[in-house]
Structure 1
């Protein structure tokens, strides 16, 4: 198989724009990590004309998916969980070509998970968690129990990913196998929900109460990235915050995050007069 693979990637290895090449082979019949291809080839390039190019090959009764990805897009995927499989390709892939130890250093970075990147990922997952949890509560109040049940499961998944990140790991697709090893509290919450013998309405009601407690307990640490941007002295309008480039990865969930932080008194709202009588700008500020 190596000869077939070499014929696919060797021209890229001689290209000065190529930073690294990794290969990952399927080890079981059904493999999410390789999209059920026998082999994944990942080629990381610099200043590519196309940000992401994918090709499929077949040889000697084997299938291969080739992904040529621009370095900047790959880093965006890593930082924002844009394409989770790519992170696993780097973590578990075998290095075939490495220019100036680019791939080696990238693997080390994924193992270390620097605090700055961890804080961003926590804010992203917390935004999804709060939004999904709020939707579950609303559906429960509307007596849409089946839909509320689905949203609870989504919320638990986001909570699990948040817990993995808190422990200094990148969340994988098989997040519950990770959680079982590193956060018993969150795993038990999930286990109790899916194995509960309570009626659906009661099961959801109990889980909403439990999740309210556990989300509140994690909130301030989870949104450190946002709180650091806000600082202590300045009162921000929502438009100002939303426009900050650092917040773009979770800007779609920013409104839900701010509303939650105000509700839990982690952030408070202040009024600023406008030209309209009795109309105020609503701004947000951290408590000193």
Structure 2
């Protein structure tokens, strides 16, 4: 099918905005990596009207998908970790076009995984973990065990990704295979949750206790990025924090994360007078730890 797709990707390669093109083939028993398509064409461009454009093709009982994404969107996905297949595509796909070694340089950056990049990814994953843990514990206390179970599974996934990031690697599609090798303790927790014969409430109770310890031990690392950003000025409104270029990546999890860090005294609240004498604005500043 590649020869059929050749005119399509050659046309993109001739565009001055195109930085790189990767072809990914479906592998047996790994259809999830290519979203069930036989071929994936990933076209990375410097800039475009839309951050992502997708087209589907079919030929001789096969199907292909072409994703055209901007460099900005690519780097955002890599930062947040919301498109895990992307890492697999970049490392294992066939490079069809590479303008000025853009893809080669990008893959070298990913392998090096600079410390600043790890700090941001750790902070984002930790914020996601906190939200899922808090919501899951609340559901558990309400005896909504199946809903709590779902949140615990998600929180364990975030813990798993954190352990991989801490090891200087990018979480892959098969993240549990990575975690089994890198941090067996988290892998064992996951096994106990899904394989144990204990009643679901007992499994959840055990997992919340273990997770609480692991979260506590990782809080300083998880808070490192947001605290380093907040040191840029003395005090912040919540809107200023939301609008900061790096903290905007925390999205909906930012406020829950901030409140968690306030409770643990990593962040202090400063009351600032408003126009109404009876109410104060809430400002946030780095704690004195």
TM tier, shorter chain? over 0.9
Corresponding position of 2:56: 56
How far apart, CA to CA, are the structure 1 residues paired with 2:113 and 2:150? 31
- Distance across 2 between alignment mates of 1:203 and 1:109: 40
Q: Which residue matches 2:37?
A: 37
Aligned residues: 288
Question: Is the CA contact (8 Å cut-off) linking 1:24 and 1:94 kept in structure 2?
Answer: yes
Shift of 1:102: 0.6
2:28 is matched with 28
2 CA distance for matches of 1:202 and 1:231?
42
SS at match of 1:285: strand
How much is the aligned-residue C-alpha RMSD, in angstroms? 1.9
Alignment correspondent of 2:124? 124
Cα deviation, residue 233, structure 1 = 7.0
The Cα of 1:85 is off from its aligned counterpart by 2.0
Q: Which is further off, 146-155 or 82-91?
A: 82-91
Which aligned runs of 4 or more in structure 1 are off by greater than 6 angstroms? Answer: none
Q: Is 1:20–1:99's contact at 8 Å kept on the other side of the alignment?
A: yes
The 8 Å contact of residues 241 and 248 in structure 2, kept in 1 or not, is answered as no
Q: Which moved more, 1:226-235 or 1:210-219?
A: 226-235
**C-alpha distance in 1 between matches for 2:47 and 2:218:** 39
Q: Distance in 1 between matches of 2:276 and 2:48?
A: 52
TM-score (norm 2): 0.92
Residue 282 of structure 1 deviates from its aligned partner by 2.9
Contact 2:55 2:66 in 1 (8 A): yes
SS of 1:169's partner is coil
Any conservation in 1 of the 2:192–2:203 contact (CA below 8 Å)? no
1:115 aligns with 2:115: yes
- Structure 1: runs of 5 or more not aligned: none
Counterpart of 2:7 in structure 1 is: 7
Report the Cα offset of residue 272 of structure 1: 3.3
Shift of 1:53: 1.8
Name the structure 2 match of 1:156. 156
Q: 1:284, CA displacement in angstroms?
A: 2.6
TM-score, normalised relative to structure 1: 0.92
2 CA distance for matches of 1:103 and 1:65? 20
Match of 1:33, SS state, is: helix
Provide the residue aligned with 2:66 in structure 1: 66
Deviations 1:162-181 (CA, angstroms, capped at 9, x unpaired): 22111111212221111111
Q: 1:106 to 1:232 in 2, by over 3 A?
A: closer
> What's the offset of the Cα at 1:241?
2.0
Structure 1 window deviating more from structure 2 (268-277 vs 207-216): it is: 268-277
Per the TM alignment, residue 22 of structure 1 is displaced from its structure 2 partner at its CA by 0.9
Q: CA deviation at 1:30?
A: 4.2
What does residue range 204-223 of structure 1 map to in structure 2 within 5 Å? 204-223=204-223
